[in-house]
Amino acid sequence: MAQVRNSGANLPAIEKSTAPGDAPIDDLPRLLQAAQNGDQSAWNDIVDRFSGLLWATCRAFRLSPSDAGDVCQLTWLRLLEHLDSIRDPARLPGWLVTTCRRECLVLLRRNRRQQPVDDDRLLHLLGSDQPGADQAAADVPLLIADRDAGLWQAFTRLSERCQQILHLLVVIPESGPPSYQLAAQALGLPTGSLGPTRGRCLAQLRDLLDAEGISSSLSDS
């Protein structure tokens, strides 16, 4: 946010901020165009479609519900600011998560402004050996089924990075490369690293479950 950028209503940010190859999502072009023409119901549909993605991105950064709400709102206001400059609807999801991630980092930096840090250090600060991790571990889903209790325990023992990645991947609806791409954008990671990392995280999770004597298979549930 701090760097000087070109101003004006036709920012190229939408075109720059995403990698190519996002799968087009059915009627997104129509919705986007209608919203650009002032159609409130089209805007509502876009909000309904991507709110979960933005919420998950915020929660992957361990923002409190209140902070996550603020960041989501700011992200939607940003989209509103740049709505007319979006030329390629397929890039909208990537633009949203990139914008959301940036606002998450701004908020975290502001919350910790007595201790200025760069983004990498911030991510490290969010790691499992930090005080914040206790709060994160206590953030248990309210309606967790009994059979998931062991899985939840194991999940909270994963590294922060693994938890972030798995959190995001479960909520991004598309399967295949685009979901990796979105999750990578949300976390600021190279897309290519995400598939292998997902595998390693799941392997770690399985080890933790095995160590607890809990089956990692679905067949017994």
Partner 1 sequence: MRDDDELFQRLTEMLSPQHEPPVMVTELAKQCFALRTIDAELAELTADSYIEGTAAAVRRGAQVDIPRLLTFETPGLLVELEVGGSGRRRRILGELVPTGPASIELRQPGVSDSGPINADDGRFVIEVSGSGPFSLTCRRPGRAAVVTEWTSLD
Q: Which is nearer to partner 1, 19 or 135 (CB)?
A: 135
Residues 131-150 that bind partner 1 (CB under 8 A): 141-145, 148
| 49 is a contact residue toward partner 1 (CB under 8 A) | no
Within 8 A by CB and 6+ apart from 167, the residues are 56, 59, 60
Residue 61 · residue 112 · CB < 8 Å:
no
The DSSP 8-state label assigned to residue 27 in this structure reads: T
Among 30, 80, 127, 193, binds partner 1 (CB under 8 A): 80
Residue from 20, 26, 196, 217 touching partner 1 (CB under 8 A): that is: 217
Separation between Cα atoms, residue 15 and residue 56, nearest integer Å: 24
Binding residue (CB under 8 A) for partner 1 from 62, 101, 102, 167: 167
Token representation of residue 123:
């991510």
Q: How far is the CB of 202 from partner 1 (least distance, A)?
A: 5
Query: Which of 148, 145, 163 shows the shortest CA–CA distance to 204?
Result: 163
- Among the listed ranges 20-28, 130-138, 182-190, 196-204, the one in contact with partner 1 (CB under 8 A) is 196-204
Amino acid at 7: S
Binding residue for partner 1 (CB under 8 A) from 48, 120, 129, 146? 48
Q: How big, in percent rounded to 5, are the helix, strand and coil portions of the chain?
A: 65, 0, 35
Binding residue (CB under 8 A) for partner 1 from 14, 31, 72, 123: 72
CA dist., res. 161 & res. 55, Å (int): 17
Nearer to partner 1, 26 or 40 (CB): 40
State the residue for tokens 């939607």.
76
What type of residue is 179?
S
Answer yes or no whether residue 2 interacts with partner 1 by CB under 8 A.
Answer: yes
Name residues contacting partner 1, limited to 17-36 (CB under 8 A).
35
Instruction: Using CB under 8 A, count the residues that bind partner 1.
Output: 68
Q: How far apart, in whole angstroms, are the C-alpha atoms of residue 163 and residue 206? A: 14
Per-residue tokens: 81: 């600011």
Interface with partner 1 by CB under 8 A: which residues? 1-9, 11, 35, 38, 40, 43-44, 47-48, 51-52, 54-56, 59, 65, 68-70, 72-74, 76-78, 80-81, 83-84, 106-107, 109-110, 113-116, 141-145, 148, 151-152, 155, 166-167, 169-171, 198-199, 202, 205-206, 216-218, 221
